[in-house]
Each structure stands twice: as structure tokens, then as C-alpha cells.
Structure 1
């Protein structure tokens, strides 16, 4: 598989998926070149930019103006910021607003924002007129390293996250590390959880890099971020290339910590915990569960706890009804015939999907984190 092209300021990760292949371009001060990035990959006569109310003045409106100046008919749509916008109601609104704007099968969707905007915008692209081309311009660290890569798009149901959606690959992903300078501290740190995840599941050397560069990462050093984002994207791209539609089970490794994470999010109410915060807590629960199953020594959990703490992430499970959490887990997509399955480490850098895990051990893994 191809590796990322490396320079100090600019990197390209190629996601190889036959005719659905695309580039992830990563660098500093490149968002101003967005129209050229789009036009180089597909002909655009009508661009539908989807953003949220917070990102709109920062990046949505400037990109829309730049696209218009480049000769593209441009429609800018925005939704309220936050997880609650990833809903059937909001999708219905965007479908109709796109229709009112004269969208047709040649229109191109450009998602400018965090993971919610990327997932929602991608779902609009996948479903409107049976599928429109689209681009991702992720503006949060979480979206840059995770949700913008791999083609998963969708919306939430009230009681189940990401339950309605599709696999719909973008034409390209444009990542400007400088946009992270405007990201609120809590949002920035939430994204770091997914970065740590890649080290745990696939790359112990990358995990060690994170341990050794905490100070640079915490101050959002440009070069450190470019490397961290490019490596995270490459690791995810490698998995997606091998299992694009989750048919072989390989892509399940990306869900490390997410069975606990999604249950916490649903039980707390979407928006109470940021996704990355729930991932941080969920990874530690999964690691403790692996300890209880005697799959790993305590040191593996301790290293994760130390790094996540140093990066300012929460590590203690929320105070919620444990039975509600367990009920939410039963709605996880990895459940088979009512039996819980978890992605669990066997060592730092390798995880496996483990089935038929006793519910009482999953409860202990949560309670032991208090």
C-alpha cells in the first residue's frame, strides 16, 4: 500500500479504492486554494456548500466566495452546530433547500465543518438524486483524522447513533492544519482521542511518538500536527482500502472503544459528551475489559491512561445508570444474536474483535474506572 508523501509543510495520502480512489491533501495555509482542489478533481457548475452556524463565518463563507469567484454557481447552506443536527429532520430540510436552489445530478456537495457536518453533508450527497459527488473540508481535528476519511456518512436516530447512512466516498479531502488554531480547546482535545486510538490499534511506534511529543501537540505545533494528521489518515486509509464496506471484519478495528463510547453518548444524551471525550473513556473501558479477560497486562491500560491524561482528555466514565448503558450496548452494530462483541487489544498496536463477552465483565470494566 502507498504511504503518505512527506514534506515538512505538505503531505498527500492517497486512498486507493479503484475508481473511487481519492487524495487527502494536508498542509498549512491551503484552504485558500480550495476551488482549485475541487476543480482539479471534477467539473463543478453548481457547488452546494454545507456548513454549520459556527463554521460558516470562519470558513464556509470565504470558501463559498472563492468558489463563486472561480465561476461556480454556489449555494451555501448551514445547520445549527452540534450532534443534534445529524438528524432526519435536518436531512429533510437540506434535501428541500438543495431542491429549491436548483440542485440536480450534476451538483457537487462540499462539506465544510466538523464530523457532524461531514457525516450529514455526505449523507445528503449520497441520497439526493441517487448520489452526488462531494468533497470534505474538515475543520476539526476529530473530522480530519477520522470521520472525513473512509466514506462513512449518515445520521442518528434518537436512540441509536449513525444507524441510517451509506458508504459514499468523497472526491477528495482538503485538510488545512491552520484551521485548528481557531478550534476551541475542548474540541481540539476531543480529536486527540482518535489519534491515540490509531496508535493503540495499529502502530505502537506512532503511539510512542505521541508520548514523546505531548508538549508540541498540546500547543498545536504546525509540523507536529501535519505529521499526526497524515499518519492517522494513512493508518485509516490502509484499513479502508482492505475493507471498504466492513465485509471482512478488518474495518471493525477502527471501532476500538466505540461500543462503550456510543453507549455513553446515547445514555448521556447526544451533545453532553463530545464524541472524542466518549472515545477516550471508552478506550480505557475496553482496555480494562481486555485485562479482565487476561488478554493484556495492566501496563497497556496504564500507558493509555497516562497519555490521554497528558493530552487533557477525560478518563472517568460518566455518572449514568449502568443498566441503561448496557441496554444501549445491545443496540451496537457489532451485536450478533444478542451477544456483545468488543474490539479489544492483545498488545499495544494490535486489537481483535472478541465475541460473546459476559455482560458482567463489561459492567466491571465501566465501574472499575470510577
Structure 2
């Protein structure tokens, strides 16, 4: 088993990320961070039939309850959050209870938010079952639900007490969702680790074949990048914004299409390629490195072209959606752009008309 320690400025919030096989069936991975006797598990209708019984068996010494969420991004909503909280109240969860999120990013985000606001905050454990959630949403303590006006508009920072990443859960993950997770891994390498980017180029075939040793290394390196950035900037006041590379374009595409049509990782893949090409336009990134980012993304079978996804969406709709991004200041846009593979910059005061012109040219 691989163990990563995520250390935060408030040392009481430090926690471990466990990565390995058969972790769900070992009670020791949970018992050391569960303080009370009550455990409330949130999962969804896809994951629960596969892994809920195994997890409950590991927690047999506790009073366990569960809530099964419908599967899909559209259920990451205030209505679903209220249903979860109602269930928590009905079973009489006390303040020393522990919530466990068993599922992908939607389950992890909404469960973490529920834990953050239930009786002003209770402990929770992330058990991510998709590659995307294992390397991204489960690490760092950002929790949220969507609003019709934008993705993740309502949420809180609430760190888990542990992340338990069982590689066995990837065996039942659809290929499309696996590849969506790879998009976030490519993103991490572009942000902070050129050597890792080159490692991904060399190991593409092994990753696609889902060889266990390669996957463990890949997940650990990707989580290590995020853990380091989060440790420097827990509440996203500075460098943590780097992790949003590709997200301003990507979230806009998701919102314009309607949440759920594209997987989040697919939208990020397109957004990352667009950010690289916009960076070339500004003279920040060399054309050859932009091509390398697009080539690696395509090499994993990920979408890189907005045109094939948004036939019925106008450029102005996309720019309007980008204007809702939480990183923006005043009326201008803020974009995270690569300056080189392994190095990014936060660019403020990007004019919406310049981005609209770029997108129009991009679509030609």
C-alpha cells in the first residue's frame, strides 16, 4: 500500500491518502479515524451494489446507516443535498458521527458538503471509486453542489480525515470514465511536473491496459502534485488556482451543453487544450508544447475539439458561462494558462471580447 501525507497549515487537518488493493475490506483503514460509533455512508445506485456490502462488513463494529443517491451529475443539487441531510437527521446522527463518501466525484462533493454543514461540521472519509475522483475531487477538501447558474457554485472547504483509494474499484469502471480521470492526470503534469508528463507519454499503452503497478504509480504521482499544491494554499487564495487549468473553458462547455452530457474530465480535456492554444495566442507558450499537450490528450482517446461537442451552442453563450467562473474579478476573466509543460500562470484582466474572438477562430 502506498501512503501519501497531506499536510496543511492547520496541522489538525492533516490526513493520509491510502492507495492500494483490497483496502475496502480492511477495517484498520477506517477505524483509526472514526471517533464515534455512528457511521453514515453515502453512495449511489451504481456503486452501492458493487461495494457497499464490503464496506459495511469492514464497519460491522459500528452503527451504520446509508443513503443511496441516484447516479449522475444532475443529482449534485440542492434538492439531493437536502434529502441526504433529512436522512441524517432522521437516523439521529450525533456530532461525533463519521460520514463516508463511497463513489465518484458527485458522491464525494455532495457528501463532503453535507458533512461540512451538518451540525456545523462532522468528520468524513473519502472512498473514491472513479479514477477522476481518486486523483482530483477526493483530495483537497473542496465540497459543493451545482446550481443552474453554474457548476460548484454552492459549497465549502471541508477536509476529509482520510482518503481510501482502493484500486480494485477501477475494475468495474467504464472505459469512458477511466479516460476522463486520465484527463485530470495529464492536467496535473502540465501544471507542475514535466517529468511526469514525459512518463505519461512513455507509459500510455500500459495505462490504457490498466496494469496495476503502473496505475498505482500514476495515481500516487498525480495525488502528490495536488497534495503539495493544497498544502501551500488550502483555501484557494493563490497557487491552488493552478489546479483549475482547463476548468474555465471546461465548466463553460459543461454548463452550455447542460451538466451531464460531457463527463467532467472530458470537458477539462477540451478546456486544457483550449487554454494551451490561447496561451500560444498570448505568446506565453510555445506552439510545439501546445501540440504536445494536444497529442498526449488525443493519445488517450480524449476529446480535444469543442466544435464536435457544441454544434447548437453559440460563442456568446460560452463566454457568458465563463464569466460566471468563481476566479473572475470584476467584469474581466481570469484564466490559468500553461507557460511551459510543468509551469502555469494565473492571468487576470482577460477581456471577454478577446476570448470570444479566440473561440470564434477556434471553431472555424
TM-score by length of 1: 0.94
Structure 2 residue aligned with 1:65: 57
Q: What 5-or-longer segments of structure 1 have no aligned partner? A: 1-9
Alignment: residue pair count:
357
| Distance in structure 2 (CA, Å) of the matches to 1:368 and 1:307 | 23
| Distance in structure 2 (CA, Å) of the matches to 1:311 and 1:13 | 26
Is residue 2:87 matched to residue 1:87? no
| Distance in structure 2 (CA, Å) of the matches to 1:15 and 1:287 | 29
Structure 1 residue aligned with 2:244: 255
Structure 1 residue aligned with 2:221: 231
C-alpha contact (below 8 Å) 1:106/1:132 kept by paired residues = yes
Is residue 2:115 matched to residue 1:138? no
C-alpha contact (below 8 Å) 1:292/1:361 kept by paired residues = no
Is residue 2:18 matched to residue 1:14? no
1:312 to 288, 301, 307: 301
Structure 2 residue aligned with 1:276: 265
Is residue 2:182 matched to residue 1:192? yes
Question: For 1:172-201, what per-residue CA distance to the aligned partner results, in whole angstroms no more than 9, with x for missing partners?
Answer: 000011211110011000000000001101
Structure 2 residue aligned with 1:6: none
> What secondary structure sits across from 1:65 in the alignment?
helix
> What secondary structure sits across from 2:359 in the alignment?
helix
Structure 2 residue aligned with 1:171: 161
| Distance in structure 2 (CA, Å) of the matches to 1:109 and 1:42 | 9
Is residue 2:328 matched to residue 1:335? yes
Q: What 5-or-longer segments of structure 2 have no aligned partner? A: none
C-alpha contact (below 8 Å) 1:61/1:76 kept by paired residues = no
TM-score by length of 2: 0.96
Structure 2 residue aligned with 1:7: none
How far is 1:356 from its partner?
A: 1.4
> What secondary structure sits across from 2:25 in the alignment?
helix
How far is 1:40 from its partner?
A: 1.1
2:48 to 53, 56, 60: 56
| Distance in structure 1 (CA, Å) of the matches to 2:190 and 2:18 | 25
How far is 1:364 from its partner?
A: 4.4
1:118 to 108, 120, 124: 108
Root-mean-square deviation (CA, aligned residues, Å) is 1.1
Larger deviation, residues 137-146 vs 314-323: 314-323
| Distance in structure 2 (CA, Å) of the matches to 1:170 and 1:73 | 20
> What secondary structure sits across from 2:349 in the alignment?
coil
C-alpha contact (below 8 Å) 1:119/1:152 kept by paired residues = yes
How far is 1:360 from its partner?
A: 3.7
How far is 1:66 from its partner?
A: 2.7
Structure 2 residue aligned with 1:5: none
C-alpha contact (below 8 Å) 1:154/1:164 kept by paired residues = yes
How far is 1:361 from its partner?
A: 3.5
2:22 to 21, 29, 36: 29
1:202 to 192, 198, 205: 192
Question: For 1:258-307, what per-residue CA distance to the aligned partner results, in whole angstroms no more than 9, with x for missing partners?
Answer: 00011001100000010000000000110111011011111111111111
| Distance in structure 1 (CA, Å) of the matches to 2:81 and 2:196 | 37
Is residue 2:202 matched to residue 1:212? yes
How far is 1:358 from its partner?
A: 2.8
Question: For 1:318-346, what per-residue CA distance to the aligned partner results, in whole angstroms no more than 9, with x for missing partners?
Answer: 22211111101110011111101100111
